C-alpha cells in the first residue's frame, strides 16, 4: 500500500508541476489544485498508513489501536485553506483575463502605465 500511496502522490506532484510550468491561466490553476492534493495526501501519510483504526480512543477502541489524530486535524485545516486559495486564484485569473486580455500569466497588455 505504501508504494501505491507514494506513487500516487508522486504522479499528482509531477502532473501539478508540469501544469504550473505551462504558464497559462487555466493550466496553472489546475496544476496548483493537483499540487495541493498531493501535499494534503502527503500530510495525511505523515501519521503513518494504517487501515481500520479510528483517530479517537475510547468507545471500544483502545489507545494502542488508535490512529495518530494530529495529521488528520492538520490535513483538515490544509484542505480548507487550499480550497479557499484555489477559489481566489480562479477569481484572479478571470480578472486577469478581462484586465489583460490574455490567458497567459505573463500577459503584457496594459501592464505598464506611463
Instruction: Round to whole Å and give the CA distance between 38 and 32.
Output: 10
Nearer to other proteins, 7 or 69 (CB): 69
48 contacts other proteins (rule: CB under 8 A): yes
DSSP letter for each residue of 4-28: HHHHHHHHHHHHHHHHHHT-BHHHH
- CA–CA distance, 8 with 38 (Å, rounded to integer): 8
Three cell numbers, residue 110: 496594459
Q: State the number of binding residues for other proteins (CB under 8 A).
A: 46
Is residue 30 involved in binding other proteins (CB under 8 A)?
no
Query: CB of 61 within 8 A of CB of 14?
Result: no
Exactly one of 68, 72, 76, 83 binds other proteins (CB under 8 A); that residue is 68
* Contacts with other proteins, 69-98, as mask; x by CB under 8 A: xxx--x--xx--x--xx--xx--xx-xx--
Cell of 105: 500569466
Binding region for other proteins (CB under 8 A): 20, 28, 32, 35-36, 38-40, 42-43, 45-48, 57-58, 63-64, 66, 68-71, 74, 77-78, 81, 84-85, 88-89, 92-93, 95-96, 99-100, 105-107, 109-114
Amino acid at each position: 500500500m505504501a508504494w501505491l500511496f507514494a506513487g500516487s502522490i508522486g504522479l499528482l506532484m509531477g502532473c501539478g508541476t508540469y501544469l504550473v510550468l505551462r504558464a497559462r491561466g487555466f493550466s496553472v490553476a489546475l496544476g496548483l489544485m493537483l499540487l495541493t492534493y498531493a501535499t494534503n495526501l502527503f500530510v495525511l501519510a505523515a501519521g503513518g498508513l494504517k487501515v481500520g483504526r479510528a483517530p479517537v480512543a475510547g468507545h471500544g477502541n483502545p489507545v494502542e489501536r488508535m490512529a495518530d489524530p494530529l495529521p488528520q486535524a492538520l490535513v483538515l485545516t490544509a484542505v480548507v485553506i487550499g480550497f479557499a486559495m484555489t477559489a481566489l486564484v480562479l477569481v484572479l485569473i478571470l480578472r486577469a483575463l478581462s484586465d489583460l486580455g490574455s490567458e497567459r500569466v505573463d500577459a503584457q497588455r496594459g501592464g505598464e502605465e506611463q
